[in-house]
Amino acid sequence: MHETTTLLVEVGALLLLLGLLGRLSRRFGVSPIPLYLLAGLGFGHGGLLPLNASEEFFAVGAEIGVILLLVMLGLEYSANELVGNLRSAAPAGLIDALLNALPGFAFALLLGWGWVAAVVLGGITWISSSGVIAKVLGDLGRVGNRETPVILSVLVIEDLAMALYLPLVTALLAGVGLVKGGIALGVAVLTVVVVLVVAIRYGHLISAALSAKDPEALLLGVLGLTLLVAGVAAKLQVSAAVGAFLVGIALSGPVAHHATQLLSPLRDLFAAVFFVFFGLVTDPRDMPPVLLPALALAVVTMGTKLLTGYLAARRAGIAEPGRWRAGFALMPRGEFSIVIAGLAVAAGTVEPRLAALATAYVLITVVTGPMLARLPDMGWFKVWLRRRATIRRPEPVPTTD
């Protein structure tokens, strides 16, 4: 009874604190993710007031948080939209992978952490935060801008790539070897292809089995289906998060619309728990030694994201201001980088400083990224663009009669 009481007190106090932090972040127009991470650092191992009784609760809640983040992301796209975006944005996705995964991969090797840690850190620096970027676009009133579809296409390619990357990195972290790792990747690819085919041809049947007219039944049905598929996917070494993402893609029409509305509060709750849990298992005393490396990595990879967005928008025929807006918008890393780092922490087979580095790295990008995204709207930046355009534009050749 005493343990249950302590659990209720710890969970209640921490959730109340998260609510206050979320309100504070909205008041200042920034993402709450860094505040949630800081809260976890303050109450985790080595923190100011460690919460021991509730750690197991937050561990389970964190797993559910990852699943809900991915299923909600999948609900935003239909299978046909996903396939269409894949075809049109494939070149931009390739540029994105090369420019942003390679710096993280090389950085880990320079630190002497080994090639498995290099693969993990490459994924951390590669994937932008869809949640943070969507919030930034909404806050800045850019949802209807011409460059926004380009930004979303890059994010879709990254999200789809995660379906292949996560099982591969999970196999590497488990040390199953090249053959078993290849088998795991093959199973993942086959699963993705099968689910996409089912979603395209029979998605309407899956949606029809879940009534959009009964909110309670719909909530229980979608949540139950998501957790079931996520668990089966984990058993197949595909990753529970990928299974949840594919469930979201398979649902469409009114079911997907109403499910998004019903699951949003649950996603917000358990996503916050996920970020807190990552902070809880990260010792803040490990962070000072990695702050400078994290800052250096953030500067390099925020620059490569800027270049990624600029090139992708230029390829789509977007004007100069829109290219810069696309580049700055893609800078923040967040939930997906933490998911990848969380896999490494759970495996316990890579460099222990990786969790601290990832936390510091995400904090830097998620705080500075939304701030830098405002630069293209500032007067001095617009003046600089006009001067740049004038310099690049050739002078007209005078004609003579």
Give the residue from 14, 13, 37 showing the smallest Cα distance to 279. Answer: 37
pLDDT of 30 higher than 60: yes
pLDDT of residue 82: 64
Band (pLDDT 50/70/90 cuts) for residue 401 is very low
pLDDT of 286 higher than 80: no
- Residue 43 lies inside a defined structural domain of this protein: no
CA 143 remoteness from chain centre: 19
Distance CA 204, CA 366 (A): 37
Mean pLDDT of the chain: 81
Q: 271 is in which domain, residue-wise? A: 66-376
Give CA angle at 99 (33, 166), nearest 5°: 55
- Here the CATH number for the domain that contains residue 364 is 1.20.1530.20
- Percent of the chain exceeding pLDDT 90 equals 15
Average pLDDT over residues 334-358: 80
Pseudo-torsion of CA 115, 66, 359, 101, nearest 10°? 40
**Considering just the CA atoms, what is the radius of gyration of the chain in Å?**
22
Global pTM reads: 0.74
- Residue 190 lies inside a defined structural domain of this protein: yes
Highest mean pLDDT among 107-121, 294-308, 366-380: 294-308
- Interacting residues of 130 by C-beta distance below 8 A, sequence separation 6+: 73, 155, 158, 159, 335, 336
Average pLDDT over residues 162-182: 72
Average pLDDT over residues 149-165: 80
Band (pLDDT 50/70/90 cuts) for residue 149 is confident
Average pLDDT over residues 346-368: 83
- Residue 58 lies inside a defined structural domain of this protein: no
- Percent of the chain exceeding pLDDT 70 equals 86
Average pLDDT over residues 350-377: 86
Give CA angle at 63 (60, 68), nearest 5°: 125
Residue-wise pLDDT for 272-285, tens only, equals 888 788 777 777 77
pLDDT of residue 311: 93
pLDDT of residue 352: 78
For residues 298 and 364, the answer to whether their CB atoms sit within 8 Å is: yes
CA distances from 140 to 144, 319, 326 (A): 11, 18, 13
pLDDT of residue 138: 75
- Interacting residues of 279 by C-beta distance below 8 A, sequence separation 6+: 36, 37, 38, 39, 40, 41, 42, 43, 44, 359
Residue-wise pLDDT for 88-138, tens only, equals 777 888 889 999 999 999 999 998 888 888 999 999 999 998 777 877 887
Give the residue from 281, 305, 1, 316 showing the smallest Cα distance to 158. Answer: 305
Give CA angle at 49 (46, 51), nearest 5°: 90
Q: Three-state DSSP class for 44? A: coil
Residue given tokens 């807190």 in the structure block:
276
Average pLDDT over residues 265-271: 86
- Residue 32 lies inside a defined structural domain of this protein: no
Q: Three-state DSSP class for 332? A: coil
For residues 96 and 313, the answer to whether their CB atoms sit within 8 Å is: no
Higher pLDDT, 394 or 100: 100
- Residue 19 lies inside a defined structural domain of this protein: no
pLDDT of residue 284: 77
- Residue 312 lies inside a defined structural domain of this protein: yes
Higher pLDDT, 305 or 245: 305
- Residue 401 lies inside a defined structural domain of this protein: no
- Residue 357 lies inside a defined structural domain of this protein: yes
Specify the number of domains making up the chain: 1
pLDDT of 250 higher than 70: yes
